Amino acid sequence: MKQATRGVYQGWFVVATVTTMLAVTSGARFLFGVVLKPLSEEFGWSREALSSAVTINVVILTLLQPLIGIAVDRWGSRRILLLGTLGTALLSLPITLATQLWQIYLFYSVIAAVSFAAMSPVNITKLISGWFTKRRGMALSISSSGAAFGQLAVIPIATWVMAQYGWRISYWSIAVVVVAAMLPLGWWFIRDAPVGATDDPDEAAVAPRDARSRALAEGPKISIWQAIRIPAYWQLSFGFFVCGYTMAFTQVHMVPYFLDMPEHSVGTMQVVASTSLAVVGGASVLGALLIGYLADRVGYRPMLTVTYFLRGLSFLILLLAGPNIVGIFAAAIVMGISWTSTTPLTSAMTAEIYGRASIGTIFGFVFSAMNIGVGVGSVIAGRNYDITGNYHLALMINAFLGFAAAAIIQAVRVRPLVPPLALPVRPTLSGAGDD
């Protein structure tokens, strides 16, 4: 496979394809929240019972992340990604035929979790990191923004389809698009990086041309037991835990927080809630591109520090704004800028510290902390409301954790755990460099 097509580096075709695929397949993942109400009304299942399906899905997804990392290190990202894409389409069909609650648990909570794990950032990180060195931050940021774009664009379209034709048609529509368009697109354009792939022309001139030389350049494989012995593993994992913890409030409790405000009518706050979430999604795409661009120039650690600082600042603004609608949207913008960037920057730092040879396995374990944070953050915020009747303490905790993560990430020592072995210097015809 050529590494350049019509002057465009092949890695950018991979990035564009991954971004598009994630936008559509993430729609299938988040669509469950859209159809929750009609499902509950049609079959008489409680919302708590249906929400449990999401909880189980997150738990299984968390457990699968390390296994997906091991799989992509062993068999490559392309195979796992295509299987996950196919699984995402196929799971849509049995969900629409379910008539018992246990079937929802089986199809969505268990089977879908496997497909979603195959499409997770753990796999994408391995794939994109193999193609890029100089612009890795930007490439990872663009590809990871696909999921945010799916929430921003695909979910509203699926919601409109559901309103016009029913919730089952929403799932069927996504299944048709995935099978008819996304799967062929991935089959044609997605490739694991070949030996010597790099977007840096200077590196390309001396890049390894065979598997043995590439292994030397990437360094030896690092086991998870070696990885956890240095502070960086726990520092990056803490950051991801905070990311998931704070995301839980936005995904689960932010709309109820707005609707509880007595200063405005319920109708007004419903519009504010839906619009602010759209602002978070839109700002996340722009934020990912901007922060990815800056990260390739000033470094991954400083920009990840800024990202967590902005996450904490967004919740502080939200707390201080109260019912002030301008303040609410200001918080949504700041929150959105920090929303997507944590994953590509953390994965890039993981690759710098542990090397590309083991990035799938190690990042799979690190990424699991995010899902744990989602579960813990959702429960604690709910408990806070049940006890106090408001979310003030939850907002303060989120702000504190964001600032704490910024401080901890800034203290990470970004240096290779095992330096790559030196490659033999290739002789030149002119004999230059002999001195």
Q: Are 341 and 292 in contact (CB under 8 A)?
A: yes
Query: Nearest-CA neighbor of 254 among 274, 236, 229, 232?
Result: 274
Closest CA to 421 of 362, 355, 358: 355
As its CATH architecture, domain 9-196 has Up-down Bundle (1.20)
Q: Look at residue 216 and tell me whether its pLDDT is greater than 80.
A: no
Q: Would the pLDDT of 32 be above 80?
A: no
CA dist 135 and 133 (Å) reads 6
Question: What's the rounded mean pLDDT across residues 114-127?
Answer: 84
CATH top-level class of 224-410: mainly alpha
DSSP 101-158: HHHHIIIIIIIHHHHHHHTSHHHHHHHHHHH-STTHHHHHHHHHHHHHHIIIIIHHHH
Cα gap 22→77, rounded to integer Å: 14
In terms of pTM, does the model score above 0.75? no
- Quote the pLDDT of residue 362: 87
Q: Do domains 9-196 and 224-410 have the same CATH topology?
A: yes
pLDDT digits (tens, 9 = 90+) for 140-169: 888 877 777 776 677 677 778 887 888 888
Rounded-to-integer distance, Cα 359 and Cα 290, Å: 24
Domain segments of the chain as ranges: 9-196, 224-410
Q: Averaged over 89-117, what is the pLDDT?
A: 86
pLDDT at 98: 87
